[in-house]
Structure 1
Amino acid sequence: MKAHGRPTDYSPDFDEKFYKAMAEGLTMEAACGLVGTTKANAYEWLKVHPSFSDAVSRGRSAQQLWWENTGRAGIVGKLPRFSAAGWIFVMKNLFKWQDNSMVEVLSDPRNSEVVQTQLEVLKQKFDKLLVLERERQQADDDYDAERGNKNQS
């Protein structure tokens, strides 16, 4: 049976073009604009051209590397006018990052040793705060008692 419809304009050099564009942080969809094609064509090429599928797969990894490197540089002050909020937005949307709740962190058995260590650190800090609060309360009581004695004289 013959294929119907207009053939797509796939070219083997698109593999490298897509990979390079994605390695600079662009999405596959943005790379479509660079080569003058549509998303529909690119998704079709993923199915029928193994080399293109491989290039896009490697491109996605390189794309995430680019964004993570950009974020690290921005967070440590190497990028002027870096927007952490904007970067987080991109990471959540492109790479499905999400905020973890404390329940998720605590319930993950892979985190048990780390969680236990952090709990011990928090307990030590809490104990120090408790001692400081008792000392402050004692100082307040002593001050009030001293003032009371002076007012009675």
Structure 2
Amino acid sequence: MLVIAGLFVPQPQLAHLTRNFLQIKRQFNPGFAPAGAHWLDLAKTEIKGADLRHDLRHAGRNRRRAVNRFLDKVIQLLEDTGAQLVARIYVKGPGCRFDGRAVYTSSVQSLCATFQHFLAAKDSRGFMVADSRTPALNSTVSHSVFTQKFKATGDA
């Protein structure tokens, strides 16, 4: 399964969302940065979805509860700030060929188009940050989005 997601955040809410997410992150993961550490130190430490899923399935009761409370607080923060989640989900059939790079780049292109339509409906402007697990995929996606944006027939 491949899931590519985007999060649309109203610009006036971005600083609020960032500060509050870092506070939630520190609350539930105090070992990520020592007390009094700069917020950037906390921001640089990633919370991996695979780790959360593992803890939900295999950790003790207290850690499972902590992960659920963390997720609840993050979802509440996203709702409070008016953030919107969009995603593309691909399920690979058993034994079927799956070109992950092609699916990944077309998914990001689709999310870019969805974002553009969202902005047009709001008569607004915005920007997109794309990040993948590897520099090679980042390069492929950058090239893919760039060619869609600046193709000879005009902006996609």
Between structures 1 and 2, the one with greater strand share: 2
- For normalisation by structure 2, the TM-score amounts to 0.24
Give the structure with the higher percent helix. 1
Q: Which has the larger radius of gyration?
A: 1
